[in-house]
Structure 1
């Protein structure tokens, strides 16, 4: 039986500052690194045959900490297909200030509509067009062989994978919250996903917003 462990990266500096990050390459915070280590601790029961990540340092850094915690050195492949969704002109902007400027409804549409693109950015549907084919071509065959695979990526590059594995609607997918450093575990028989669960890691920060902007983040804006 193949096993997929999918993990969103730990808290990044722009998660902490409540900024749109997208393709901007920002590092983990100290808390993000320590949470990645906690994530590694709960994964001690797994021996990974392969690991995949994006090309962005918040994901690669999280993967590095998890594997270091486990003392494992599986082959690692990084690919831009697993990068976060591009937020285009919104990248670098504070989310709360963007709401003040454009209104909550418009910002929520940019962030949580499956098909709507932010200015010069990607929609979730656009992200799915690169992420899911990459998964099918490169990761699913390993799972069909009975391998145990770790994927560390981003909320909007993992959503399309979860969508297709769990047969979710676009609307449910758009509203799906994937917590930071929270392992999603999927078991496979051949290429068919047969069971799944979420491991909740005690003590980690699952949302990235700073305290003053927490209401904005919890409102899924």
Structure 2
């Protein structure tokens, strides 16, 4: 099986015309990199609907098609100033707003009967260290929210845990800030990062996630 990484990003939502997760991910579609061992790895990108349920169907189809060994799902987090690999996905849908299909689940499980939470299988602390070393602001996040980003993240980790076709698959989720053009349209001076910076951050994250299997043991916690 060819070594492959699947990157996913979301379509625009909440009346916006752009989503930085898809803009960054599609810039890496077809990118190939070589590991220190001389292994060539191909990256493929797929766009996910910002809709409960449909996002998981699209993710399943993308995994079945690409047959990756590594999945990094990317999502927009307005208000964050850093690249934030997520630590944990929770089994809860609780929409602050409706999704793009007009659905707004409140206090419902992502998957009935599944565990309360799953931890990412990405080396999130190693990724943060490498991003910071490259001059890119980054931090571990301990909450992926309760909207479609967490929905997709939980669905990904559940598939990895229970489906035989996903044996050996690793994956997780990364939230990214707004683009400057998005922040400029919003009051309050929300933080942003340029698309070039986000794309470079994803390159570093993919390389690190592919190469590092045992994460660092260093602080990544918060006081509240």
Fold similarity call, TM over 0.5 = no
Structure number having the greater helix percentage: 1
TM-score normalised by the chain length of structure 2: 0.33
Higher relative CO (CA 8 A, sep ≥ 6), structure 1 or 2? 1
